[in-house]
Structure 1
Amino acid sequence: MSDNRKIAEDILSGVGGEENILSVAHCATRLRIMVKDKEKIDQAAIENTEKVKGAFFNSGQYQIILGTGTVNRIYEEVRQLGVAGSTKAEQSKEAVKSGNGFQRAIRTFGDVFVPIIPVLVATGLFMGLRGLVLQEQILAIFGMTPDDISQNFILFTQILTDTAFIFLPALVAWSTFRVFGGTPIVGMVLGLMLVSPALPNAWGVAGGDVQPLEFLGFIPVVGYQGSVLPAFIAGILGAKLERQIRKWTPEALDLIITPFLTLLIMITLALFVIGPIFHSLENVILDGTVAVLEWPFGISGLIIGGINQIIVVTGIHHIFNLLEIQLLAKFGNNPYNAIITCSIAAQGGAALAVGLKTKSKKLKALALPSSLSAFLGITEPAIFGVNLRYGKPFIMGLIGGAAGGFIASLMGLKATGMAITVIPGMLLYLNGQILQYLFINLVAIGVAFVLTWMFGYSDKKNLETGK
């Protein structure tokens, strides 16, 4: 019997047996199990299972942290043992029924924006690479100056870096329709209508070079390039409207009537009501975010770097995707990324200290890979498997994150993208900021490591108490 098969059997036994499982899915690091009866779960048995780095309930699912790669193998073993599998999206639809209204709203927000993030990551990498190759020092290596770069090459790089944000409303409306039960392609077309070339370009209007259209003498109508909230709200209402129209429409006419009425009604509402109202609200949110990030003396970095991983533990961190997307769409940079990178790196530093200091082979085998995972941008194994379990390492990690975030804020570091951090995040700082980026990460890791080593962990205290 393979080790993974034994682990899968132990997990099934720990959650109350196959008969207590509704479905199993997985994400990048966690096995996600929907159970019938929470009381049948043996938490201690699960946490003591080999390769398990922690387990907890979140979003209506029992989530077992196994780590990147491992989770895929354990999931396949669980499936081979006869347990019904489902996709993460299917589980989310079931899980959305659980939790309070705020928790359900946050989960829904994440379901909408998480699928969009990969293309924004790619766009951020394109921005970083463009910044690298256009640096005077880099060009000088090849005997070139910025004046030697052809306009055709500049145009090519603009296609890579600008397209996702120009058509961002289409991506948002598509994903929102998908989550709220509408037809995704109808949502995409609605989003494309919001950035139609027939409308005054939003960036041109913002720059004062283009005038918005005016209807009824007081309703401004513009394109919504790079905008999020108008497409999000239009997507919610559009999906619900489409479902209602479909109920009322004879089946023989559904193909014609439903998309026609949905798009006609929604683009009218989007341009004349939803757009003006929620674009203004979006600007207020963005201005507030920028004001906080520009607090003097590094205060914003100190606070955000210190509390970010607490927010991650609560599971509501996806709401900040909106803020990062807005920053990138409006300014082409993202100072928030540098700060949260420090909070992530610091948790890795704390777990690394535990792994190097402990004499327990089991804890060492858990803590060292968990720290590496954090340095690659995924903190759940380090947080739930090590730092929160022993308490003080988590606090020391928060202090390290605050220290690194403080310096990142003082230095004014700004990423070219979002969603990747620590080691992979270096690709977002190739535009002349890489040395500063490495420095803030080393500060965050170093502070967390030293504090954990000195004050945050003791084999004698923790292992003797059975923690």
Structure 2
Amino acid sequence: MASNEEIAKQVIEAIGGEENVQSIAHCATRLRVMVHDREQVNVDAVEEIDKVKGAFYNSGQYQIIFGTGTVNRIYEAINNLGVTSTSKSEMKEEAKKQGTTFQRAIRTFGDVFVPIIPVLVATGLFMGLRGLITQEQILVLFGLTPDSISENFLLFTEVLTDTAFVFLPALVAWSTFKVFGGTPVIGLVLGLMLVSPSLPNAWVVAEGAAEPLYFLGFIPVIGYQGSVLPAFFAGLIGAKVEKFFRKRVPESLDLILTPFLVLLIMIILSLFALGPILHLVENWIFDGTIALLELPLGLSGLIIGFFHQIIVITGVHHIFNFLEIQLLENLNYNPFNPIITASIAAQGGAALAVGVKSKQKKMKALAYPSALSAFLGITEPAIFGVNLRHGKPFIMGLVAGGIAGFLATIVNLKATGMAITVIPGTLLYLNEQLFLYILVNLVAIGIAFGLTYFFGYKEDK
């Protein structure tokens, strides 16, 4: 197999050489390349390169799928060749006229959440581990009962499971400032102000144990623990306000005056306008999500399980991160995760069937790792490299995802966290749900494999 350095050279050659590269960035699984002339790109040559699991053009970018971890090394190798790269925020500026307004907005939303997701994953794992070790069946193995668990231990677990959500606005504002070209630490402090202990706690207010502060007799002011939209828009507007002052404040006063003005203006705007309005919007979105998830007869699982991977193709699936955060914040569990897990596992099952049935070494070498990637929660290699390329395997995966999603809803599966699925997602079900979670995944993989093997894939001679 070629080295990363050789692969980097082959990629640059296949996309028309260094002179055709406008900018290069990467996300979790894909190398994202913007070129000057699309006609010079040899997509077939790109797909023949070692470790490439698929390539396609979307929203002004050639997206080359390498998979988690691998893409970072290829990107580094390309940088070592001296090829001009760019940050994701710079690429966003270059691509701002590409795609629809909705697609651009969701891409930006995704850029903000990608750096935050790892800590939310860790929080979900802590929740799962707490659920495991506090189960009566587990405690009995050590001669303990639920009453044996000390208050101090429970307090310690709350530090692990609650901190990221309590200070979520600080994380969101920090990342938003960074994406939109502001100073991240100003965003961090602005986000912390939104959850200041001087303000009535949002969760305590929701429980009815505290009242909002009312300014001018009608503006309700509370803390925004666990909220996303107020912090997101505070960061977006705050970064633009900062840029405005950076251009106009004298350099000798910039260090002191600019942060002062940005924080003063933005906390007033956030607490008295953005916060109250966007908090209502968040509640409406949450209510709509719950209405969908509570459709009778398992319809929600059938619909979401079928359509989820279609949405992944469009690249706007990052909006689901916000929905899952809302569910965890308000319900303390996540019924959305097992449904999308079913859809992801199904695409892996379809890709596995292609690998088993195919007699081509190249296809087997592509299908097996792509299936494994899906079983680890990343479906882009399976979708773009295998299933969508042949058409029917993708459709069979959708059908299986819908059926398994229906099952997940019927048995009432609930994750303790978010952002990890299939095999890693097992850690979010370390309680009495573990057997049912495994069953849903096996059903998704089994149906997708069977449908694809017998009806969905016929190899070209």
Which TM-score tier does this pair reach, normalised by the shorter chain? over 0.9
Deviation at 1:363? 0.8
Shift of 1:202: 0.8
What pairs with 1:376-415 in structure 2 (closer than 5 Å)? 376-415=376-415
Whether the aligned pair in 1 keeps the contact of 2:89 and 2:180 (CA below 8 Å) is no
Number of the residue aligned with 1:358: 358
CA shift for structure 1 position 262:
1.5
Structure-1 residue corresponding to 2:301: 301
Post-superposition Cα deviations, 1:168-227, rounded to whole Å, max 9, x if no partner, equal 111111111111222211111111111111111111111111111112222111111111
Match of 1:243 in 2: 243
- Correspondence 1:287 to 2:287: yes
Match of 2:424 in 1: 424
Matched residue, 1:147: 147
Could you tell me which residue of structure 1 aligns to residue 20 of structure 2? 20
Partner of 2:110: 110
Other structure's SS at 1:317 match: coil
Please give the secondary structure, in 2, of the residue aligned with 1:115: coil
> What amino acid is the match of 1:413?
L
Deviation at 1:48, TM superposition (A): 2.9
Q: Compute the displacement of 1:80 (Å).
A: 4.6
1:2 offset after TM fit, Å?
4.6
Instruction: Report 1:135-284 matches (<5 A).
Output: 135-284=135-284
The offset of 1:309, in angstroms, is 0.4
Q: What amino acid is aligned across from residue 435 of structure 1 in structure 2?
A: F
Cα distance in 2 for residues equivalent to 1:344 and 1:338: 10
Q: Distance in 2 between matches of 1:75 and 1:131?
A: 39
Q: What secondary structure sits across from 2:230 in the alignment?
A: helix
Aligned residues: 461
Contact 1:388 1:394 in 2 (8 A): yes
Equivalent residue for 2:48? 48
Q: SS where residue 402 of structure 2 aligns?
A: helix
1:336 alignment partner AA: F
Query: 3-state SS of the aligned residue for 1:34?
Result: strand
**Cα contact 1:126–1:161 (8 A) shared by 2:** yes
Query: Is the Cα–Cα contact under 8 Å of residues 300 and 409 in structure 1 kept in the other structure?
Result: yes
Give the superposition deviation at 1:426.
0.3
Amino acid at match of 2:428: L
Residue 3 of structure 1, CA deviation: 5.3
Q: How big is the shift at 1:342?
A: 0.5
Contact 1:59/1:107 (<8 A) preserved: no
CA distance in 1, matches of 2:23, 2:14: 15
**Greater shift in the superposed pair: 67-76 or 104-113:** 67-76
Identify the range of structure 1 (37-46 vs 201-210) with the bigger mean alpha-carbon deviation.
37-46
Q: Is the contact between residue 96 and residue 107 of structure 1 (CA under 8 Å) also seen in structure 2? A: no
How much has 1:270 moved relative to structure 2? 1.3
Letter in 2 for 1:159: V
Distance 1:75 1:181, change over 3 A: closer
Residue of structure 2 in register with 1:371 after alignment: 371
SS in 1 for 2:114: helix
Secondary structure (helix, strand or coil) at the match of 2:105 reads helix
Q: Distance in 2 between matches of 1:268 and 1:81?
A: 48
- For residues 42-81 of structure 1, what are the alpha-carbon distances to aligned partners after superposition, in whole Å with 9 as ceiling and x for unaligned? 2222223343221012343211112344434444544454
Compared CA separation, residues 7 and 191, structure 1 to 2 (3 A): closer
Give the secondary structure class of the aligned counterpart of 1:57.
strand
1:267 and 1:29 map into 2 onto residues whose CA distance is: 37
* Structure 2 CA distance for partners of 1:134 and 1:72, relative to 1, 3 Å: same
Give the residue type in structure 1 aligned to 2:243. Answer: R
Number of the residue aligned with 2:446: 446
Tell me the alpha carbon deviations over residues 369-393 of structure 1, each in whole angstroms, 9 at most, x when there is no partner: 1101100011111111110010000
SS in 2 for 1:31: strand
- 1:309 is paired with a residue of what secondary structure? helix
Spell out, residue by residue over 1:216-246, the C-alpha distance to the aligned partner (whole angstroms, 9 max, x if none).
Answer: 2221111111111111122222221222223
Worse overlay, 28-37 or 198-207: 28-37
Q: When the two structures are superposed, what TM-score results if normalisation uses the length of structure 1?
A: 0.95
| Alpha-carbon RMSD | 1.8
TM-score (norm. length: structure 2): 0.96
Q: Distance in 2 between matches of 1:40 and 1:276?
A: 51
Deviates more, 1:172-181 or 1:56-65: 56-65
Q: 1:221-276: CA deviations, max 9, x gaps? A: 11111111111122222221222223332222222221212212211121111111
* Kept in 2: contact 1:306–1:343 (CA 8 A): yes
Shift of 1:4: 4.7
SS in 1 for 2:57: strand
- Which amino acid letter does the alignment assign opposite residue 16 of structure 2? G
Same amino acid, percent of matched pairs: 70
* 1:440 to partner: Cα distance: 0.5
- Asked if the contact 1:60/1:96 (under 8 Å) is kept, the reply is no
CA gap of 1:332–1:394, structure 2 versus 1, over 3 A, is same
Q: Any unmatched runs of 5+ in structure 2?
A: none
Matched AA of 1:451 = L
Instruction: After superposing the two structures, state which structure 1 stretch, 106-115 or 88-97, moved more.
Output: 88-97
- The one-letter code of the counterpart of 2:185 is I
Q: Which stretch shows the higher mean deviation, 326-335 or 27-36?
A: 27-36
Distance apart, 1:106 and its partner CA: 1.3
Output the amino acid matched with 1:328: L
SS at match of 1:55: strand
Q: Is the 8 A contact 2:89 2:181 kept in 1?
A: no
- Of 441-450 and 9-18, deviating more is 9-18
- Letter in structure 2 aligned against 1:289: T
Gaps of 5+ in 1: none
Distance in 2, Cα, partners of 1:227 & 1:95: 29
Deviates more, 1:431-440 or 1:90-99: 90-99
Taking the aligned partners of 2:74 and 2:237, their CA distance within structure 1 comes to: 40
Structure 2 counterpart of 1:311:
311
